[in-house]
Structure 1
Amino acid sequence: MRRVLVTGATGQIGSELVPNLQKQFGVANVIASGRREPQGDFKGVYEVIDVLDKKRIDEIVKQYDIDEVYHLAALLSAKGEMHPETAWNINIEGFKNVLEVARERNIQKIFHPSSIAAFGPETPRDKTPQETVLKPRTMYGVTKVTGELLGNYYFEKFG
């Protein structure tokens, strides 16, 4: 059975994804994580991880023998515009830490969602082509484009 780590597990996407992954893989096989303890009545395995702490990511990956990572941790647009350097660090350096641990531990599947924020106003709104202009207008969008490129680089370079 696969063992899955979800970063940013209590965010908008993570809070919907984790229960579905738990149904698919079993509650004990889905390790949810975030910078703080979860609020409310979270069900399942939860670990506090700051994605800027590569050593902690590695500890959890090793401890739970993780096979896949769903990397959802990010600083979104509103806060990213107020704190662009923090957004870059969390969204890019954090993702790089996940990619490095995955490379070092031979994890074959990393899921890192992008966002409509990656496009910008020049992108066609209807029937957006797969290959298109990316000119984001927010730091969050810039980090999403950069994350896509970084993920592609790691895939091409390391498999």
Structure 2
Amino acid sequence: MKNILVIGATGQIGSELTLELRKRYGNDHVVAGYIPSAKPQGELKTSGPSALADVTDRQSIEMVVRQFKVDAIYNLAALLSVVAESRPAMAWKIGIDGLWNVLEVAREYGCSVFTPSSIGSFGESTPHVKTPQDTVQRPRTMYGVTKVTNRVAQ
């Protein structure tokens, strides 16, 4: 059975995804990764394991991967777009440097990685109807820049 680490498990998408993954793979096989300022609450806290897994701290990711024998990492760590615009350096640290940490730990421990993209990775010049899979990506926000970089890095 796979063991999954969801980084950003207490976020907007991560909280829902973590619970769904626990339904599919079993509560004990999905670790809710969190940062100190956003600890799991409610069902997310009581339904399965959780651990400090800060995407900006490679050692914290590595410790969770070792402790729970993680096979797959879901990287959902990100700042909301509005916050990313007001804190671009933090957006870069989480979105780009954080992805680097995840990829390095995954390489070292043989984990697969899932990191989602976003409509924010496109921009005004991207076709709005029947958008092709490979198309122009010229984001106009820092959030979008981090998502494009994520897509290219993988």
1:39 aligns with 2:78: no
Contact 1:34/1:73 (8 A) holds in 2: no
CA contact (8 A) 1:118 1:141 kept: yes
Cα distance in structure 2, aligned partners of 1:106 and 1:41? 30
Q: CA deviation at 1:130?
A: 1.1
Secondary structure of the residue aligned to 2:93 is helix
After superposing the two structures, state which structure 1 stretch, 92-101 or 44-53, moved more.
44-53
Question: Could you tell me how far apart the structure 2 residues matched to 1:52 and 1:11 are?
Answer: 16
Retained in 1: the 8 A contact 2:55–2:99? yes
Aligned match for 1:126, one of 126, 129, 141: 129
Q: Is the 8 A contact 1:32 1:45 kept in 2?
A: yes
How many residue pairs match? The answer is 150
Equivalent residue for 1:23?
Answer: 23
Q: What is the CA deviation profile of residues 34-87 of structure 1, one whole-angstrom value per residue up to 9, with x for unaligned ones? A: 113113342211112211110111011011100111110111211110010110
Give the match for residue 55 of structure 2. 51
Counterpart of 1:156? none
Greater alpha carbon shift after TM alignment, 47-56 vs 83-92: 47-56
Counterpart of 1:40 in structure 2: which amino acid?
G
Q: Which runs of 5+ in 1 are unaligned?
A: 152-159
Report the Cα distance in structure 2 between the residues aligned to 1:136 and 1:76, rounded to whole angstroms: 15
Matched with 1:85 is: 89
Once the two structures are superposed, the pairs formed by residues 1-159 of structure 1 within 5 Å of their partners are 1-36=1-36, 37-42=39-44, 43-107=47-111, 109-151=112-154
Residue 140 of structure 1 and its aligned partner are, at CA, apart by 0.3
TM-score, normalization: structure 1? 0.91
Runs (4+) off by over 2 Å: 39-43
Normalising by structure 2, we get a TM-score of: 0.94
Residue by residue over 1:93-144, the C-alpha shift from the partner in whole angstroms, topping out at 9 and shown as x without a partner, is: 111100000001111x211000000000110111001111100000000000
RMSD: 1.0
Distance in structure 1 (CA, Å) of the matches to 2:99 and 2:79: 12
Give structure 2 stretches of 5+ with no counterpart. none
3-state SS of 1:12 partner: coil
